[in-house]
Structure formats: C-alpha cells, structure tokens
Amino acid sequence: MNTVLRKQRLPAATRRVHPTQSEFNVRAADAIAAANTAAEVALRLVKPGKKNQDVTEAIQKVAAAYDCKIVEGVLSHQLKQFVIDGNKVVLSVSNPDTRVDDAEFEENEVYAIDIVTSTGDGKPKLLDEKQTTIYKRAVDKNYHLKMKASRFIFSEISQKFPIMPFSARALEEKRARLGLVECVNHELLQPYPVLHEKPGDFVAHIKFTVLLMPNGNDRVTSHTLQELQPTKTVDDTEIKAWLSLPVKSKKKGGGKKKKGKKADKGEGPMEETSNDGAQE
C-alpha cells in the first residue's frame, strides 16, 4: 500500500488512504492513536509560559510510545490575520537540517497545530514533481519573469490568490503548467509537494486551531475520532501527566461572588427593617 502525504515546510495537507478493516486493526490504528494522543498533549502544552521545544519533544515521545514516528518537516505555525505561517513555529522533529528559533507561547496568540505520524521512518520522499498541484505566493520574493505565459499566470495568481494556498486547477489551464515552472524556479511560489512513505506504511494526520485565551485554551476546530484498537498502550507516567493537565483554567474569584450573594441576602432584611421603621 502506498501512503501519500502532501507536505512542505509550511502546514501540511494530506491525501487520505483508507485501509481495509483487517489492515486497519493492525498498524493503522497505532498511527491514528499516536496522532490523536500527540494532538491532545500538544493542546495542553501550547500555553503561555511553555516553549515550542517542549511541544516538539513531547509529541515525539508520544509517537514512540505507539512505535510510530513523527513525520519530519511538518511545522505548526502561529496564525495572524491573513498570515498562516507566522514567525513562531513548533517543529515536528528536531534535526540538524531543520531548525527554528526558540519561542515562548503568549496569551491571546493563535496556532495551527499540525500532527503527522507514520508507522514508517517518518521521512517521506518526493517521487514525482508533476504530482504537485498546490502552491502559495511567496509575498517576500520578486523577480522579472521572462516568459509571457509565466507573467500571465503570475498576474492571475496575484489577483486571485495573493496570500493563501491555491490549486493549479483554479488557473487558466493551457498556460498554467508552463508558467508555474518558471515561477517556482525563481521562488515566487512555494510548492506543496506530494511525498510518499514506503509501501505498507500508514500515515495519520490531525490538525486543529487553538486560541490561547486568558482562561485557558480554546480548540476551535476538532475531529471525531473513530473507535480504535491500537496494538500499543500508553504506560509512560510523563505522558499520562501531560494528558491529565487541564485545558481550561479554573475560574477565579468564585468565592468572592458567593460572599457577595450572601451579603446581598443579609442586606435585604436590614433594608426592610429600616423601611418599616420609617413607616412607623
């Protein structure tokens, strides 16, 4: 079975492969359970005061507990208005080839958490560049294109898709393929290539948006997890401790409100007595 993953240094998108029931009950369930547990841990660790490296180390440990790997090169970015790849980044796997600046999470930030696990080695390969159909405009790059087809396509992209990823199918078909090549070669466009794991390996992908609010984290996008029968279970005490962390913080000042209500009740009879005295 050939598992396919669309991935780039920016947020990943997946092409789902549905295994048969017999295959699913073996290793596919481990990959999905690993991704889901890693996502739950990340939800609890992406909070003010924690650092991006804390999350990177934690999700790798979770994947290892299910005998899986976190897929390399996938990044979880801070989100801002019209920006899907902010400066603060959570790296999926630490290695010498891919590095990001250390960062600390802060209140009122927004992140797209991207978890991709694999039953293989977590290093999918690019087999055919022609399979790439998703691109994104590199707004910080400039180049005077030589080919007329390239200038035509780039003008269309700038008008229709100035900041967000798009599919090549949305462009004028006859000139698209020829024009895209020159744009990519001169880094005016960032491609989202299709990467392949080894035949027989499974890839699971969970992605969600989290808001770091004053009273805790809000997950604004979620998924319904199907019933799983993974071959592995989590026995690690540190992972269990992460999962036991609250997502939302307890409301402050509850006691004061209760006291206030009691005081209000106590003040009622006093006012009535005062009024009665005035009437008398």
pLDDT in tens, 37-92: 999 999 999 999 999 999 999 999 999 999 999 999 899 999 999 899 999 999 99
Q: Please name which of 87, 80, 82, 88 lies closest in space to residue 110, comparing C-alpha atoms.
A: 80
- Per-residue pLDDT, 274: 39
Name the pLDDT band for 269 (thresholds 50, 70, 90): very low
Q: What is the mean pLDDT of the chain?
A: 83
The answer on 142 and 110 residing in a single domain is no
User: Looking at the structure, do residues 16 and 148 belong to the same domain, yes or no?
Assistant: no
Let me know whether 12 and 87 are in one domain.
yes
Buried b (16+ CB within 10 A) or exposed e, 12-51: bbbeeeebeeeebeebbbbbbbbbbbbbbbbbbbbbeeee
| Edge-to-edge strand list for the sheet holding 13-14 | 13-14, 4-6, 194-196, 125-126
Domain extent at residue 58? 4-128+196-243
> Is the pLDDT confidence value at 180 over 60?
yes
Residues 74 and 155 in one domain: no
What number of H helices and E strands is found in the chain? Answer: 7, 13
pLDDT above 50 for 171: yes
Domain shared by 14 and 137, yes or no: no
Q: What is the mean pLDDT of residues 235-261?
A: 76
Regarding whether 211 and 90 lie in a shared domain, the answer is: yes
pLDDT of 206 higher than 90:
yes
- The tens digit of pLDDT for each residue in 7-46 reads 433 333 344 445 555 555 578 999 999 999 999 999 999 9
- Asked if residue 23 is part of any domain, the answer here is yes
Segment 124-161, tens digit of pLDDT: 999 998 899 999 999 889 999 999 999 999 999 999 99
Domain shared by 183 and 163, yes or no:
yes
